[in-house]
Amino acid sequence: MATPQDRAGQTRARIIAAARAALLEGGGDFELSDLARRAGTSVGLPYHRFGSKSGLIASVVEEFYDGLWAAVNLADFTPLDWAERERERLRRLVHHLYAEPLAGLVISTLARDPEVAGVEAARWKGMIEAAARNLAKAQWRGQIAADLDPALTAALINGGVRHAIGHALATRPRRSREAMVEEIWNFISGALRLDAPARSPRRRKSSKEPAK
């Protein structure tokens, strides 16, 4: 028998799924009466669960980023070469966003809502910080240029990739996945100077490899 917590979780998931469908159908907006009909709830329940319409949309966006993060975490990818792993991460990112119907709305229309913008800012901040740690580790191993600032470089690359994919998603005819991966990887390779010999930074014998 389902517990009250189970039922509450199922109701929450049903409302989020209904909001996602309504956003897609409405081009980034919906009426709460339509949402309630889709979810099989009262009009007031989404307010009760999410605080506001913006809060509900922000929850949809949170779920979107959970899916994106899962798609690019490379937990199942065994090759250790840094460039090979990051190109695969990029490939998964592009393929995931091209296949995700909500991607274009999240990157463009929905980001105009202040509460959604807050979710966006927090998620991209987290991704940039993770990328900076990744770059610092690659520098420690002598795999990329040692004189790059990891945080600045991560911000530049992540911002460029985000806007490039957003542009591609809004363009018709849409550039192919393979072409996007190739063009973005060429940009990343140039920014990181992957074709040039990487000079390992000087470090004391007692220094430790940066954490992930």
- Domains in the chain: how many in total? 2
Our measurement of the distance from residue 154's CA atom to the centroid of its chain's CA atoms, rounded to an integer in Å, reads 14
Predicted local distance difference test score (pLDDT) of residue 202: 44
Q: What is the pLDDT of residues 118-150, one digit of tens each?
A: 999 999 999 999 999 999 999 999 999 999 999
Distance in angstroms (rounded) separating the CA atoms of residues 63 and 16: 9
Predicted local distance difference test score (pLDDT) of residue 201: 47
What string of DSSP letters covers 58-121?
A: HHHHHHHHHHHHHHTS-TT-----HHHHHHHHHHHHHHHHHH-TTHHHHHTTGGGSHHHHHHHH
- What is the helix (H) or strand (E) element at residue 48, kind and residue range? helix 44-50
pLDDT at 206 over 80: no
Domain extent, residue 159, equals 61-212
Residues 45 and 85 in one domain: no
Predicted local distance difference test score (pLDDT) of residue 112: 84
pLDDT at 9 over 90: no
φ/ψ of 2, rounded to 5, equals -70, 140
Mean pLDDT within 177-181: 97
pLDDT at 72 over 90: yes
> Does 56 fall in a domain?
no
Distance in angstroms (rounded) separating the CA atoms of residues 58 and 114: 9
What CATH number is given to the structural domain containing 7? 1.10.10
pLDDT at 107 over 60: yes
What CATH number is given to the structural domain containing 165? 1.10.357.10
